Amino acid sequence: MQRNVDIILKQILQKICNDYKYKIKALEVMPDHIHIFIDVPQTVAPCDVVRTLKSISAIELFKVFP
């Protein structure tokens, strides 16, 4: 199950980053958190990046794993 969550989460994060023009440099999924290193446009505040990634990924993960 954990491996499936890892794969799905990586796909979700990749889609979000593609949609928002963010570029993933490194991504590691841990059992209870993630490490992600991304390039974003200079006009985007870091807090907005975090909010976007957390909110959309949570919604999408709960759709797959209710």
pLDDT computed for residue 29 by the predictor: 92
- Tens digit of each residue's pLDDT (9 = 90 or more) over 20-55: 999 999 999 998 899 999 999 999 999 999 999 999
Q: Band the pLDDT of 58: cuts 50, 70, 90.
A: very high
Q: Residue 26, Cβ neighbours under 10 Å: how many?
A: 8
Domains of the chain, residue spans: 2-64
pLDDT computed for residue 10 by the predictor: 96
Domain 2-64 sits in CATH 3.40.50.620: no
**Residue closest to 52 by CA, chosen among 13, 24, 23, 26:** 13
3 state SS of 45: coil
pLDDT computed for residue 51 by the predictor: 98
Q: CA 1, 23, 4 angle in degrees (round to 5)?
A: 5
Q: Band the pLDDT of 8: cuts 50, 70, 90.
A: very high
Q: What radius of gyration do the chain's Cα atoms show?
A: 12
Model-level pTM? 0.90
